[in-house]
């Protein structure tokens, strides 16, 4: 009786160069560069670090595997491979495929819509044109190639900082498993909340401790300017800005909106103070000098504190 330690199709091994290898039935071995468990993306490269050779020879098949090509948002794009003589001037050295080139010729790889008719490649011949997923980073061809998988879906476990594993005796049923890094069982959001909750009070406490010492230092270094400033302040007349009295506010015209919702200005259908739309049976108050109107309850409270229109800030007299 055999026992599985992993999900079928996800078996990994190591080669003699300590590289992680995954083997596909129809395409052979590939180097696993990284795995994004949250997005369920596998980054692979050829064992000879020449992934583009696979595209050139159309030697890629992922049949009978849980993986599919990650196409990206734009699907596929046409790319053209060129065989250029060594004396051909190349304006894009990063597009030379070094693993397919020799000292006698260079193999160039470009989006097809670049190659014709704008480029002058007199000493180049077309090898082939093929469709390649838009997710392939052709400007950084050594990054590898992206594969995606849907089953098993372990994203829920990953979001909770937990591992994904098979349930014992349940064949291919998966479950989330606690690991050492999440022994507390807290999610990333919870940990972030704790950090913020502890960090901000700590910072405020530090400022509270340091601020008195800073004030004493400033006072000891600059006694004269402070004295002069206080003298200057005492010489200036004190002004206290107050709002309007109740009788002035009540003298401003009021309007009770009817069922037909007759507004003085049909386009001004919301109160600039509370930002709520006016409704029937609500009372509006208008400021005569500028004809701006508001909910009476909103503008009355404002005018008790400020002797200006809340919208245009024009001063109002008692």
At 19, the pLDDT band (50, 70, 90 cuts) reads very high
Q: Which stretches of 26-178 are assigned E, i.e. beta strand?
A: 28-36, 41-46, 67-69, 76-85, 105-111, 124-133, 145-149, 163-166, 174-177
5 versus 13: which is more confidently predicted?
13
Q: Is the bond leading into 123 cis (omega within 30 degrees of zero)?
A: no
Q: Give the HSE-up count for residue 304: Cα atoms under 13 Å, Cβ half-sphere.
A: 7
Alpha carbon distance 282, 292 (integer Å):
16
pLDDT in the model for residue 256: 87
Alpha carbon distance 53, 101 (integer Å):
11
Question: Domain-by-domain residue ranges, the chain?
Answer: 12-149, 155-181, 246-305
Alpha carbon distance 113, 115 (integer Å):
6
pLDDT in the model for residue 289: 86
Tokens at residue 284, please?
Answer: 């509006």
Q: How much is the pTM?
A: 0.51
What are 255-281's pLDDT values in tens digits?
A: 888 877 778 787 888 888 877 788 888
CATH code for the domain defined by 246-305? 3.30.40.10
pLDDT in the model for residue 65: 93
Question: Residue 37 in 3-state DSSP?
Answer: coil
Alpha carbon distance 265, 271 (integer Å):
12
Average pLDDT of the segment spanning 22-39: 92
Query: b vs e for 48-80, b when ≥16 Cβ sit within 10 Å of the residue's Cβ?
Result: eebbbbbbbeeeeebeebbbebbeeeeeebebb
Alpha carbon distance 21, 164 (integer Å):
20
């Amino acid at each position: 009786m055999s026992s599985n330690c992993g999900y079928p199709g996800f078996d990994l091994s190591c080669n003699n160069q300590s590289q992680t290898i995954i083997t596909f039935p129809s395409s052979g071995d590939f180097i696993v560069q990284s795995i994004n468990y949250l997005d369920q993306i596998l980054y692979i490269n050829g064992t000879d670090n020449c992934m583009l050779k696979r595209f050139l020879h159309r030697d890629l098949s992922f049949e009978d595997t849980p993986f599919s090509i990650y196409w990206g948002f734009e699907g596929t794009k046409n790319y053209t491979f060129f065989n250029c003589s060594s004396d051909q001037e190349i304006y894009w050295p990063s597009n030379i495929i070094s693993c397919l080139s020799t000292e006698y010729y260079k193999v160039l790889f470009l989006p097809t819509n670049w190659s014709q008719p704008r480029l002058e490649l007199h000493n180049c011949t077309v090898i082939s044109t093929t469709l390649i997923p838009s997710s392939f980073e052709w400007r950084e061809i050594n990054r590898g190639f992206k594969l995606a998988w849907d089953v098993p879906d372990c994203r829920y476990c990953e979001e909770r900082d937990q591992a994904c594993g098979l349930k014992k005796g349940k064949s291919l049923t998966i479950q989330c498993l606690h690991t050492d890094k999440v022994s507390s069982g807290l999610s990333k959001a919870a940990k972030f909340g704790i950090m913020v909750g502890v960090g901000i009070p700590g910072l405020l406490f530090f400022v509270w401790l340091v601020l008195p010492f800073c004030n004493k230092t400033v006072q000891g270094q600059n006694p004269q300017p402070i004295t002069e400033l206080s003298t200057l302040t005492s010489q200036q007349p004190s002004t206290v800005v107050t709002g309007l009295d109740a009788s002035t506010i009540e003298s401003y015209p009021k309007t009770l909106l009817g069922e037909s919702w007759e507004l003085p200005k049909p386009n001004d259908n919301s109160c600039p103070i509370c930002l709520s739309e006016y409704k029937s049976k609500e009372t509006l108050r208008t400021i005569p000098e500028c004809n701006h109107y508001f909910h009476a309850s909103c503008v009355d409270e404002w005018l008790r504190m400020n002797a200006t229109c809340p919208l245009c800030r024009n001063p109002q007299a008692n």
